[in-house]
Structure 1
């Protein structure tokens, strides 16, 4: 099960956080800081799967953005690794080359995309067109 999804920049600033398991607000900042520090401290030639506390971190870096997904021990790391890549491909398709500024100024769209892909900590959709269908409908309504 997916516990959380984080998008951070190379300075460790959180740009997006989405939790699928209840975590107290007071603990979230510390959890995010520790998880990001753990991923940023690793070298490029090291594996992108890390045992962390009572779960695993799967992360992937794209230019200045790092996407970190916390998963339970029984989850398949490679499927999550591919989910991250699929998520970035969907963002690229929607924003035509996503950047950190796109994330910061379009958080609502990012959350809609995540909601279409992941529900209650489980992957429910990977088809890019189906994931983007709600945003396409919203954009058509805004134009018309």
Structure 2
């Protein structure tokens, strides 16, 4: 089981956190300093804390899988993508992992879910815009 996921910049700034186990703030700070499994991609460290008896190689594969999906979506993922698009990075992580366990291993399936969500968001924005226009017209 994965207890938490962290994405940390080379400067040590935490860019994304997802906790699957309950920790107090004091415990979170301590645990971050005692990371279990991590892998560096460009200027980001992708970190996951797992049970002591879990397979570290499998966890490294999950990290790599997440990075590949982020790369597919953002191009070549970098720290700025996470800063300005963190809801999308969380959404992708939620499609990959649920309750600290691998949910979906197919990149193609995750990519299609992301495209579907983007379409829904665009449709909602268009609908909100048309409603705003109708309200503006009605109040003139």
**Shorter chain as normaliser: what TM range?**
0.7 to 0.9
Structure ranking higher in helix proportion: 2
TM-score (norm 2): 0.81
Bigger CA drift: 5-14 or 132-141?
A: 132-141
- Residue 61 of structure 2: SS of its match in structure 1? helix
| 1:58 shift after superposition | 1.0
Bigger CA drift: 104-113 or 125-134?
A: 125-134
Q: Deviations 1:40-90 (Å, cap 9, x if unpaired)?
A: xxxxxxxxxxxxxxxxx1110011100111000121111101111110000
- Residue 18 of structure 2: SS of its match in structure 1? strand
Unaligned runs of 5+ in 2: 124-140
Q: 1:35 to 1:105 in 2, by over 3 A?
A: farther
1:5-24 residue pairs with structure 2 within 5 A? 5-24=5-24
Q: Which residue of 2 aligns with 1:131?
A: 110
TM-score (norm 1): 0.79
Q: Which residue of 2 aligns with 1:43?
A: none
Structure ranking higher in strand proportion: 1
| 1:127 shift after superposition | 0.8
1:1-144 residue pairs with structure 2 within 5 A? 1-32=1-32, 34-35=33-34, 57-144=36-123
Unaligned runs of 5+ in 1: 37-56
Q: Return the alpha-carbon distance in structure 2 between the equivalents of residues 10 and 30 of structure 1.
A: 19
Aligned residues: 123
